[in-house]
Structures are given as C-alpha cells and as structure tokens.
Amino acid sequence: MGQAELKRHGTLIYQLFRRDLSERYQGTVLGFAWLLLQPLFMLGLYTLVFSEVLQVRFNAQASNSSFAFYVFTGLLAFNALSEVLTRSTTVITERRDLLLNTALPSWVLPIIPVTISVALELVSLGVLLLALSVTQQLQLLGLLFYLPFLLVRVLFSLAAAYGFAVLGVFLRDLRQLIPALLTVFLFISPILYPLALIPEDLRPLYHWNPLAHLVEAYRLALLQGQFDLERLAALLLVSSTFLLVAYLLFQSLMPRARYVL
C-alpha cells in the first residue's frame, strides 16, 4: 500500500468519523457539547453517590473523592469498549449502500467505531485530569504511563470491531445480545468495586479477564503514577493475537457477507 493510498484511506476514515459523530448529535440543541457534558455529569454523579451518600473510602486517609475517581477511571476503558461492541454489530449493515455502491474498502468500516471510542475516551480523560488537578491528586507522569495501555485498549477494540462487524451481518441477534454481555462484563470486572473485595477462591477467574487487567493498569497509571511493564507485555500479546484472529475471520467471511447484505 503506497503513501498516496494510505493518505486517501486516512482521509476517508476521517470523513466517516465526522459523519458518524455528526449523526450522533444531529437534532440536539447542545450538539457536540454533549461530548463534554456527559462525562462531567457522570463524574459529578459518582462523586455525589460514592463520596457523599455512600461515603465509600479505601482507607481512613483517602479523600472523599478517591473512590469516585477509582470508578470513573475504570469506566474509561469499559465505556470505550462498550461503544465499540455496541456500534460494531451494525456498522456494516448501516453503511450497506456505501459498501455496495462505492469503492469503499470493507476493512475501513470497523475502524470507525474505534476512532469514535478514542475521541470519547480522550474527552472523559480530560475531565478526569481536570478533577484530579483541582483536588491536587494529579500524577503528571501517569499520563505518559497511560498511553501504552490506551494503545492496548485500541487493539482490543479493533479485534472486537472486526469480529463483531462481520458476524453481525449473519447473526442479527448480536445487537440484542451485546447489552446483556456488557452488563455481565461490568460486574465480573473490578470496575465498581476494588479487586481486594473479591474472595480469594474467585480471584483466579479475574486473572483470565483481560478487561480486569486493563482497568487495573489504567488506575495504576492515572491515579498512582505507576507503570506495570509485565502487565503491558501480556496485554499486548493477548490483544495482538485477538486482532490477528479477528481480522482473518473478517477477511474470510466478508465475501459471503456481501451476498447477505
């Protein structure tokens, strides 16, 4: 693939990204302001519920807002993956006309929900960093440590997007099944509760959950300014393998998917 072709595909992805984002907020009064207002509202809600109502703390020395930041940081990864899983099951069928009537490469479409998820995550990240700065808990080095794990999250997202995009053409029930699966993942991952609260006999199950490790890596980086190289290496290996398998599945099924469309 030459440089000119790469540039053309990059421009195409950007145009589809803008179109998808515009359609999301089309007809709303506040428009793109919802990108910022939604994470602001959620962080305020978590702070109110966990800090003031439930008064959840890790220990006596922790600030009232610590657990709210803990939950919000975990949801950075979970919400981004949820966006990809939810949108990828219909991304091909929704763009059916483009795929069948233009020279649009099929492999471009699953990338769109992933780019959307990155944009949404970065906006939420900005809200978190602002809140951490105001409460004097900001770890500047943690932002640098977070970036490699953002790459891992993108690799997992691409794997999910390619796999579910092509399967969604054949199995239309997937779009109904995904919300239920996401609820299961939310509760079997240490997002709304600390890993320390999990009974010892159940902890081995969490060691096989990539999302649990990704969430913990996000928290170590952004909240504690720590970098887990061993966890990064393992997650890179797993996410790269998932992506390779998902892309091969996409390439093998896509010719038949065109007939189903």
How much is the pLDDT for 185? 84
Measured in whole angstroms, the distance separating CA 191 from the mean position of its chain's CA atoms is 13
Nearest to 189 by CA among 87, 113, 82: 82
Q: How many Å apart are CA 160 and CA 138, to the nearest integer?
A: 32
Query: CA angle, 77 as apex, 74 and 78 as ends, to 5°?
Result: 80
Asked whether the predicted pLDDT for residue 60 surpasses 50, the reply is no
* Residues with Cβ within 8 Å of residue 228, at least 6 apart in sequence: 216, 217, 220
Asked whether the predicted pLDDT for residue 170 surpasses 70, the reply is yes
How much is the pLDDT for 28? 65
How much is the pLDDT for 232? 95
Averaged pLDDT of the chain: 82
Asked whether the predicted pLDDT for residue 2 surpasses 60, the reply is no
Average pLDDT on 175-200 reads 82
% of the chain with per-residue pLDDT over 70:
80
| Residue 145 in tokens | 């440590």
How much is the pLDDT for 26? 66
Q: How many Å apart are CA 82 and CA 116, to the nearest integer?
A: 11
How much is the pLDDT for 46? 62
Residue 44: C-alpha distances to residues 69, 129, 187 (Å): 10, 14, 22
Query: CA angle, 223 as apex, 221 and 225 as ends, to 5°?
Result: 45
Q: How many CB atoms lie within 10 A of CB 79?
A: 21
Question: At 173, which helix (H) or strand (E)?
Answer: none
pLDDT band at 199 (very low <50, low <70, confident <90, very high): confident
Which residues in 230-260 are b (16+ Cβ under 10 Å) and which e?
A: ebbeebeebbeebbeebbeebeebbeebeee
Q: Considering Cα of 47, then 50, then 52, then 53, what sign does the dihedral take? A: positive
How much is the pLDDT for 258? 78
Asked whether the predicted pLDDT for residue 235 surpasses 90, the reply is yes
Q: Where are the beta strands (DSSP E) in 89-190?
A: none
82-130 tens-digit pLDDT: 889 998 998 888 888 777 777 778 888 899 999 999 998 998 898 889 8
How much is the pLDDT for 45? 67
How much is the pLDDT for 217? 94
Q: How many CA atoms lie within 13 A of 97 on its CB side?
A: 0
